[in-house]
Amino acid sequence: MRGISKGFPGVVALDNVSLKVRRGEVVALCGENGAGKSTLMKILGGVYVPDSGEIFVDGKPVSLNNVTDAMKLGIAFIHQELNVLDNLDVAANVFLGREPLLRPFYLINSKKIYADTEPYLKRLGLNISSRTRLDQLSIAQQQMVEIAKALSLNARIIIMDEPTSSLTLTETECLLKLVCELSEQGVSVIYISHRLGEIEHCADRVVVLRDGKNAGELSDADARHDNIVGLMVGREIKSFYVASQATQSPAFLKVRNLRSSRYPSRQVSFDAGRGEILGFAGLVGAGRSEIAKSIVGLDPAGEGEIELGSEKIPIRSSRAAIDRGIYLVPEDRRGEGLVTQMSVRENVTLPSLKRFAPFNLIRRDRERKVANEQIESLKIKTPGCETFVLNLSGGNQQKVVLGKWLSMEPKVMIMDEPTRGIDVGAKAEIYKLMRGLAERGTVILMISSDMEEILNMSDRVAVMHEGEIAGVLERADCNEGNIMQLAVGKKISAAKPAFDN
């Protein structure tokens, strides 16, 4: 891949990136969240078409306009997000779109599909029948089915994007062994992972991307934690951090032994003070969003203890959290934070509708008053409060999400990726709003994959690694190097405990 560039509205994902992979080589592709790794691989897998650049296979230029083009060249892509149909069985998923047919009636040869799938399952050490429906398998087993599908394609190049994010230790060991076997058989593997221990174990070479550009590469001998992290970080970040002027109340929010459905065997405990912005950093899949959902009662498998002030509060539902002033601004604002087919007025008043409905009849005049107050306060650019939310820009949609909670006097505001996908001007306004909330004594938990945002807004930073808090950094120790070391599972002396005993 030579000189690959790719942009999306408002974002340059890749800028003149090049990548070379030899036959039978295992190349690890590393970088922070948003560095461009997945975008580059989606171009190689035919999911995206590059804006510019060239791709060569066996020295010959090729055009990859779709996934089929990539598959014909022997390129298989195992995505981080599962691409399986859980209403079909294992064999049907493995041979989906490539089913052998019985002529002359062109019926699917099910017997052959089941028989041909079994060897791939055995090769992966997957002790299940090829006739098992996917909805009866664990997430880890479904991930292995995706790998079986790639093997069935007789792929020459296999792209693995965070392949062990859902696997157990035993399954991970099996997969790493398989990667080595594939390499010995002449199959090239591009391995994307935030687990640097795995990379040290299986990679022949490490290529690092940073901010959508090539940052450098390391040979097998040099591919060590510190060297990889150094290339991943490698930049200075201008600070516009402003210390909170609020009188902070330490440990106003106490979370103890919190579990989530993603990491049911891991417990998270931490304290946060009134007037504090506690940043949550970590790599993709570290479990930050899941913890947020557990706190507000959105994770059915979530459990733990939460104390607000001196009151212990059992939160078993989102309504219970809302009633106690604990609000979540979700990562997916359109899917989880808004009803886009409804107006600004209806969205702003939705979580507190009882306030506007005496005798169960909605008083729209009261709704309009509160909605207009939020429009003015947050400077939401809209023709009026009756405008449908879907017609607003991303930044103004985010302000509507904030407006519905700000109208209810939050005690704890959890903000998951608060400025994702919005322009610089809207970001500055939201940052000002967050600091203003903290000044008024609100506890703010800010989850962000934007390192500048984490470093410039957080009073302290809690870093998560594989479902646990690896450590908390005080303001003086908050720098990108320390955060990345903790995020990849390395212990550092600057890290403090997440809570006081």
pLDDT in the model for residue 320: 87
148 in the same domain as 16:
yes
Between 271 and 142, where is the model more confident? 271
Mean pLDDT in residue range 290-304? 87
CATH code, 10 = 3.40.50.300
Q: How confident is the model at residue 445 (pLDDT cuts 50, 70, 90)?
A: very high
E strands in 167-226: 188-192, 205-210, 213-219
Question: 170, exposed or middle or buried, with CB in 10 Å at 0-12, 13-18, 19+?
Answer: exposed
CA 483 from centre of chain:
17
Whether the predicted pLDDT of 464 surpasses 90: yes
What integer best gives the mean pLDDT of the chain? 87
277 in the same domain as 167:
no
Q: What is the DSSP letter of 335?
A: I
Q: How confident is the model at residue 231 (pLDDT cuts 50, 70, 90)?
A: confident
Residue 232 contacts residue 208 (beta carbons within 8 Å):
yes
377 lies in which domain range?
Answer: 333-408
CB within 8 A of 436, min separation 6: which ones? none
Nearest one of 195, 229, 196 to 215, comparing CA atoms: 229
**140, part of any domain:** yes
Between 224 and 58, where is the model more confident? 58
125 in the same domain as 152:
yes
Q: Point out the domain boundary residue: 179, 205, 233.
A: 233
Whether the predicted pLDDT of 348 surpasses 90: yes
pLDDT in the model for residue 489: 87
Mean pLDDT in residue range 447-451? 85
**290, part of any domain:** yes
The identity of residue 156, as a single letter, is R
Whether the predicted pLDDT of 237 surpasses 60: no
pLDDT in the model for residue 251: 83
Question: 440, exposed or middle or buried, with CB in 10 Å at 0-12, 13-18, 19+?
Answer: exposed
pLDDT in the model for residue 8: 79
11 in the same domain as 141:
yes
Q: Point out the domain boundary residue: 211, 233, 255.
A: 233
**241, part of any domain:** no
Read off the pLDDT of residues 487-501 as tens digits, 9 standing for 90 and up: 888 889 888 888 876
Q: What is the DSSP letter of 159?
A: E
**205, part of any domain:** yes
171 in the same domain as 77:
yes
**469, part of any domain:** yes
**Exposure string (b/e) for 238-274, b if CB count within 10 Å is 16 or more?**
eeeeeebebebeebbbbbeebbbebbeebbbbbbbbb
**90, part of any domain:** yes
Choice among 38-42, 45-49, 181-185, 420-424 with the minimum mean pLDDT: 420-424
Q: Point out the domain boundary residue: 408, 429, 455.
A: 408
Between 28 and 171, where is the model more confident? 28
Q: What is the value of pTM for the model shown?
A: 0.66
141 in the same domain as 78:
yes
d(C-alpha 317, C-alpha 299), whole Å:
9
312 in the same domain as 439:
yes
**Exposure string (b/e) for 466-494, b if CB count within 10 Å is 16 or more?**
bbbbbbbbeeebbbbebbbbbbbbbeeeb
**238, part of any domain:** no
pLDDT in the model for residue 209: 92
Q: Hey, what are 422's tokens?
A: 């919005």
140 in the same domain as 259:
no
293 in the same domain as 367:
no
226 in the same domain as 368:
no
pLDDT over 90, % of the chain:
41
pLDDT in the model for residue 314: 80
**240, part of any domain:** no
53 in the same domain as 36:
yes
**Cα dihedral 434/438/439/441 (nearest 10):** 150
pLDDT in the model for residue 12: 85
Whether the predicted pLDDT of 133 surpasses 90: yes
If one counts the domains in the chain, the total is: 3
pLDDT in the model for residue 168: 61
Read off the pLDDT of residues 137-167 as tens digits, 9 standing for 90 and up: 877 788 788 888 888 888 899 999 888 766 6
226 in the same domain as 357:
no
Q: How confident is the model at residue 73 (pLDDT cuts 50, 70, 90)?
A: very high
